[in-house]
Chain A
């Protein structure tokens, strides 16, 4: 049961149709193979580039398609419906491109953003460190000025496609403690002293590589500093506001996929001489699942519309990330339950969906941090 195309404009229908065609012909089947192999689906990213889908929400002068954020998120949701790790990869890529579009110099837009929008390059985002996750402003990777450039030293963790991406947006400390000492850098793959030191073995998102990164006196030129010195934390947070919408759209696509599987299964599976979906208890579960999905979809699209109108959307982005990813955890868990024993075996995809949903509750600000953000906006900073 694909999401309705009612209320979508012509361009949005074109994006959704294209994404569904790509999903049906390639992405859905490829997901199982790459997940089983724990391998990054690079050929699929290349295809996304060929389809012109790597830079939808960016200006045409920088190689983008000049589409709204709502339209871009429709793509993310459809991709997540077929293959979550691929949608996550595109969202992370967009996070990096967004930061350059919003804060980059003309030269950075020309040299880096245009390569990201065309899909010639892929981008990644690196904020977390071994000792600073939720407390991101405590990061300790150093950026020391050296002969008109910066020397970056430290370790980063949980960086999606950190070793596969061509350029990584890295936050490092160039000044004193706290958020005002952080600066953002665009570090290119192949920079001496910059490498992935460990690929994590994860519960879900198994074909989405998660890296520990090492910066060992990696030299980054001034031309690759994004924004002002000390302006990095603001960039990191703005990118996360936007990225949260991507995670919310991913969650809705994933939940829809789990629901679709559960609906088909419960209508076909017969026990006591009739389909299990004939039981009111089962129907009530299905009803709750689909209601959560529709509510989540409405919430993330509302937040994206605010963003498209240039209005403040960070509260709604936090709400959407929180609600949609918690909803996806619940829906995928119920989808496993509705499959009975078949839900617990890898022959059916719903156990993977459940493992994948957990990751969405943790990344780009845990859902506890989302509640913290929402609470702070409502009541003000805590004493």
Chain B
């Protein structure tokens, strides 16, 4: 079985986010494998360990994205594809899906795994567009997955509980952050990853040109969320406890 996992190199979410006009500043910023994608990589590796599978990581982005791919390879994925092309700068989710689909097709996948959304862009639309381009069904918000014969069985998180969904392969799934505990990349894994294949492709290698990836949408303005108003300060002059209790009663906390 072949599994493709979509991964993204994002600015380290533990550091303060910096903007460059309407775009997130990436140059010179410490990047990491999107923490959301670690769950997807882990899910694929667990299927690999249970059933045997070849796991390919696929990413679109500048050369620095190879760091994210190396991290996934260190965790245990078998190979990686990085699509880099100057024409992709500023690509939107739809263009990304188009590019990833062409790259993923080369791996002849039975299953494609992605996170529900990326930590930096947050559109959450790329996986659905990718499934559409593949012509595949998509199972979203998976909190548990297993594969039996050629059928995927997944728990889908809902607001009140979960659905159990079955779907024949091939299928695209998006996994939530709670699905598993992503493993560390061990030192041996890190050493082994250096020798694993990382294929670099440009748009032309995928039979695409700049026209095919022209963004269909554009962020025209950014505005900051209103900051929370500062809370009420109670200075204790002997009656603070009563006033705090009254406040909590009013808020129906107690």
Which of A13-21, A187-195, A340-348 lies at the binding interface? A13-21
The residue in chain A whose Cβ has the minimal distance to the Cβ of B193 is A14
Judged by a CB distance under 8 angstroms, whether B208 is at the interface is: no
Binds B, one of A45-53, A99-107, A139-147, A207-215: A45-53
Asked whether B191 lies within 8 Å of A51 as measured between CB atoms, the reply is no
Chain A CB within 10 Å, residue with most, of B186, B187, B188: B187
User: Which of A21, A22, A50, A65 is B191 in contact with, Cβ under 8 Å?
Assistant: A65
A222 within 8 A of B: no
Q: Does A56 contact B (CB under 8 A)?
A: yes
Note all chain A residues with C-beta closer than 8 A to B190: 14, 18
Number of A-B contacts (CB under 8 A): 26
Q: Contact between B187 and A53 (Cβ–Cβ < 8 Å)? A: yes
Closest to A25 in B: B184
Instruction: Please count how many residues in chain B sit with their CB below 8 Å of the partner chain's CB atoms.
Output: 8
Q: Name the B residues within 8 Å of A53 (CB-CB).
A: 187
**CB of A39 closer than 8 Å to a CB of B:** no
**A190 → chain B closest CB, angstroms:** 29
Interface residues of B in 154-212 (CB under 8 A from A): 184-191
Q: Which residue of A lies closest to B185 (CB)?
A: A18
Q: A50 to B188, alpha carbons, bound, how many Å?
A: 10
Interface residues in A174-198 by Cβ distance below 8 A to B read none
Interface string of A21-43 (1 = CB under 8 A from B): 11000000000000000000000
Taking CB atoms, residues of chain A closer than 8 Å to B188 are 52, 65
CA distance A264 to B191 in the complex (A): 36
Closest Cβ neighbor of B190 among chain A residues:
A14
C-alpha spacing A65/B189, complex, angstroms: 11
| Chain A residues with CB under 8 A of B187 | 14-15, 18, 51-53, 56, 65
**Which residues from chain B sit less than 8 Å from chain A, CB to CB?**
184-191
Residues of A within 8 A of B (CB): 11, 14-15, 18, 21-22, 50-53, 56, 65
22 contacts between A and B (CB under 8 A): A11-B191, A14-B187, A14-B190, A15-B187, A18-B184, A18-B185, A18-B186, A18-B187, A18-B190, A22-B184, A50-B184, A50-B186, A51-B184, A51-B186, A51-B187, A52-B186, A52-B187, A52-B188, A53-B187, A65-B187, A65-B188, A65-B191
